[in-house]
Amino acid sequence: MLFPHVNRAKSNSLTMSRDLPASHYKENKKNVDSLRKKAAQGNADAQYNLGDMYFHGEGVPADKAKAAQWFRKAATQGHVEAQYYLGIAYDSGRGVPEDKAKAAQWFRKSAEQGMRRLNTILVSCIATAMASSRTGRNP
């Protein structure tokens, strides 16, 4: 897996801690309805924020599939963080079927827009995707 800091649990949920204060979660819950309205109107920032909330279970029950749906909507509009998280989803199989080639595509789009921390990851991801396309297997 390209992200060793993110561990897979048997429940297929993230096991990393965000250590945020309780007030943060209360505020997020208040924003859910407003975010949903903006996201439904096509606001990429709202779509990304909803995806992030579902991905981490903040203000809403954790749901990786819903997170990936919202990330995809924002990512297709060019939202760089949504592209990055959609890449993570495809890389790890959280909310979408694991697909290293799609992960590489989204990481590449994010990197092209300036997400510099992805350069090393992107090279590894592309190499993995190319190897899997030669063998006909998804690693």
How many Cα atoms are found within 13 Å in the side-chain-facing hemisphere of 75?
27
> Could you tell me if residue 7 is inside a domain?
no
Q: How many domains does the chain have?
A: 1
pLDDT of residue 26: 59
Q: Whole-structure pTM over 0.75, yes or no?
A: no
> Could you tell me if residue 95 is inside a domain?
yes
- Residue with the bigger pLDDT between 46 and 15: it is 46
> Could you tell me if residue 2 is inside a domain?
no
19 CB-contact burial (10 Å; exposed 0-12 / middle 13-18 / buried 19+): exposed
Alpha-carbon distance of 40 to 46, in angstroms, equals 9
- Ordered alpha helix ranges (H), the chain: 22-40, 44-56, 64-75, 80-92, 100-112, 118-135
Average pLDDT over residues 9-35: 55
pLDDT of residue 17: 39
pLDDT at 124 over 90: no
Alpha-carbon distance of 134 to 105, in angstroms, equals 17
Q: Is 14 helix (H, G, I), strand (E, B) or coil?
A: strand
12 pLDDT tier (thresholds 50, 70, 90): very low
Alpha-carbon distance of 28 to 50, in angstroms, equals 10
> Could you tell me if residue 115 is inside a domain?
yes
> Could you tell me if residue 101 is inside a domain?
yes
> Could you tell me if residue 85 is inside a domain?
yes
> Could you tell me if residue 1 is inside a domain?
no
Percentage of residues in the chain with pLDDT exceeding 90? 44
Domain of residue 52, residue span: 22-135
CATH of the domain at 67: 1.25.40.10
Average pLDDT over residues 39-53: 94
Angle at 88 between CA 100 and CA 37, to 5 degrees: 125
Q: 88-120, pLDDT tens digit by residue?
A: 999 999 999 999 999 989 988 988 887 766 555
Alpha-carbon distance of 70 to 68, in angstroms, equals 5
How many Cα atoms are found within 13 Å in the side-chain-facing hemisphere of 34?
6
> Could you tell me if residue 118 is inside a domain?
yes
